[in-house]
Amino acid sequence: MTATSALMQRYPVLKMSSDLHFALLGSKQLALCFESMGVSYSCTGSLKTLVRSLIETEIDLIVVDGPEAQTDKLEKIFQTYHVPFLFVGRNQSSADTGFFSVQDVSEISDFISRQNDALGGFRTERENRKIHSTLKTLTDFTNTVLHASKDLFISETKNFMAKSLKVKNSYWVEVKEDLANLPPILKLKQELQKQRVDQGSLIAALDSCSIEMIHNEKFQLWRTVQGDYLGLIWIKDQEGVSQCLVLNHFQLRHLSHFESFLVHFVPFLKRRWSLCLTIADVQSQIYKDSLTDLYNQKFLMEVVDKKTEEYKRYKTPFSVLFIDVDHFKKVNDSLGHIVGSGVLCQLGALLQEQIRNSDYAFRYGGDEFIVLLSHTDGEDAVNVSERIRKAVENCQFSVNDIDVRITVSIGLAFFPTHADSGEEIIRIADEAMYYGKNKSRNIVYKAS
């Protein structure tokens, strides 16, 4: 059974020759009447299931029979979804609230024939609202997400989703091209399992996906077992790597509005991301260290300044690791500077392997390096630092068939816990490194 057929069984719709779609909220007698006309219908037993049908299905008329429903709640449903109600046996007609009425079930077919144009007018108004909603959201995004720096663009995009679409958690995941042929959720889960920072909550969210509501090469939407939604938006990079924006835990008001928004938003997001990549490519030529291909000290201050600005806006902490190679002078003196330079180059590659795409690795100068961990502090940062220290300790570097083993001392500082400016956090991480180095070397020392 396909996801679509499963959805239709749970939330079926009444289809008539007029091509209008109906939901039925009422008694068994009304259901039997519809069956006698040979028309299928949606029998929604409560306002909650009715709202779910309105979110996920294009419905043109809600036929109500049975116990009195709370008028104020029905008025709110009409104001939100602009779908009129037809009451059987109740005199509740009101054009302002979208209420119509007939005295008996036998009058329903005649009502539909007479009011076909009016019901079409409600549908047109819903389409106009969809267009207005899409344009407004795109305009808000343009006016809100302004940065062309990759990390700030990602942060602003995630914050926009939280404010505009009420998304509780957003994630930006880079997926390698060799996973391209896998189903979207399996592709993401395999990539997350490679990540070096715990993503258990996101993997659990992916496991909770129940029914696929939208499937498109560029975006997908699932309803979860908890009853909310999870969306995936895909962007293919110029170099063949895919970026996935995960929208986790949010509620929809209109499925069709959301799909219309994505149709227009995804190409727009891709263009903005391409601009970020172009700027990053230009920056890399200016800001890369020629030996290690890590970022250089000049770019360090720009990134730290951006991260402090990001904290002021979004309260996102970060950590700085100041890394120094222990007794590196002995390597140069005993094995020569060519071997020493080769070791530094390989150390740079090791550092890059140990961090996420949202983090930064810099060669600060000589045998000193800095790693900046985005959105990370506390024990998570300590764990990353220890992992880097152990990776270096256990690595056998090899240059021109000469094997070399080294260790590093790491000073660790958190922003804003230990500092309130970019220059200060670098200085404090540096001091922590020297304190640890004087204490024992091959150590991670956290600033106090």
Secondary element (H or E) of residue 128 = helix 116-144
Residue-wise pLDDT tens digits, 222-253 = 999 998 999 999 998 767 788 899 999 898 88
Residue-wise pLDDT tens digits, 317-357 = 999 999 999 999 999 999 999 999 999 999 999 999 999 88
**pTM of structure:** 0.63
One-letter amino acid at 443 equals I
Residues 6+ apart with CB under 8 A from 380: 197, 198, 373
Per-residue pLDDT for 294 more than 80?
A: yes
Domains in the chain (CATH in brackets) are 3-114 (3.40.50.2300), 133-283 (3.30.450), 288-446 (3.30.70.270)
pLDDT for position 8: 36
**The token pair that represents 130 in the structure block:** 């969809």
Task: Give Cα separations from 11 to 24, 40, 43, 66 (angstroms).
Answer: 11, 12, 8, 20
Question: Rounded to whole angstroms, how far apart are CA atoms 436 and 448?
Answer: 12
Which class for 117: exposed (0-12), middle (13-18), buried (19 or more C-beta within 10 A)? exposed
Residue-wise pLDDT tens digits, 71-111 = 788 888 998 899 999 888 877 777 677 899 888 877 888 88
